[in-house]
Amino acid sequence: MEKWQTYIPGRVARRLQSRVNHLTPIEDLRSRYDAIFAGFGEVDADAVIQTAQLGGVRGEWLTIADTAPQRVIIYLHGGGFISGSPESHRPLVARLCRAGNAAAFSVAYRLAPEFPFPAGLRDAVDAYRYLLGKGIPSRSIILAGDGAGGGLAFSMLMAIRNGEMQIPAGIAAFSPWGDLTLSGWSIMQNADSDAMLSWDLLFVSARHYLKGSSAADPYASPVFGNFRDFPPVMVHAGSREILRDDASRLGELAAAANVPVSVEVYEDMQHLFQVLWTGQDGRVSINRMGQFIRARASEADVALPLAKTATRSH
């Protein structure tokens, strides 16, 4: 048995491997993503969670107790643009906050098909604009995300740049989905080795999200944009996942624009191995991302726009 198989219960694996099509109900599609999220494990006991709203954008702040965060992560969760939430991704966000000595605002961006493209992108940009308006310096903010949220973070950065807003300190992404046309070679090459995602699941998810918009629109698929004037970039992916080439292509775009970039592809690893497997590779990846956040985001006296009450994770 290969090592990645040890973290996939048989029942979950069967659900993930069953095929979907255009007739598959949205509830069934969401249950497939939920099966992935269920493998993320428990939230760290010292994570402090505060439901919040930045202007009109809902989400939650996550901090680690007894630390004074000096940086802010704006986190965009994965889930194919149709599923996921700040709650589903708390284990991953908490580990990133600890590694980066940062607080995270996890954005509850609107999901398709109820709210198709570009609703989620607008929510992400509005959250960033709100934080700038509250006096949090852009040099202390890192954009981050996984899967669809990782791709959305790159689209968000293009919108920030094109809107002539202050540029954040950097962008970090786990297994980003950057090409909704699904043209990467690894989509086919890793079709039999990816235990989490499949072409049909991503294709149907993209159709729900786009609702007739072009899959090659750079704000939907950042691999078709340009990364001029971007801040430093770090991207991690697994060698056995179908989104491997999306990570590489995003890195190539950054390099072509003379942006400092690090793309790390972990051998024999699956999608989101950072939380779905407890081995050394996941710890190394999280620690590397934490080092990137601490190195790129300037320390600041960050006054988070928090309410008076917060809850401790149990």
pTM of the model: 0.93
CATH of the domain at 156: 3.40.50.1820
Give the model confidence (pLDDT) of 254-298 as tens digits: 999 999 999 999 999 999 999 998 789 999 999 999 999 999 998
Residue 152: the pLDDT is 98
Q: Please give the tally of structural domains in the chain.
A: 1
Choose among 255, 253, 257, 261: nearest CA to 235.
261
| Domain hosting residue 72, numbered range | 3-312
Query: Letter for the amino acid at 94?
Result: A
Q: In this predicted structure, what is the pLDDT of residue 16? A: 56
Low-confidence ranges of the chain (pLDDT < 70): 1-17, 306-314
pLDDT score of 163: 98
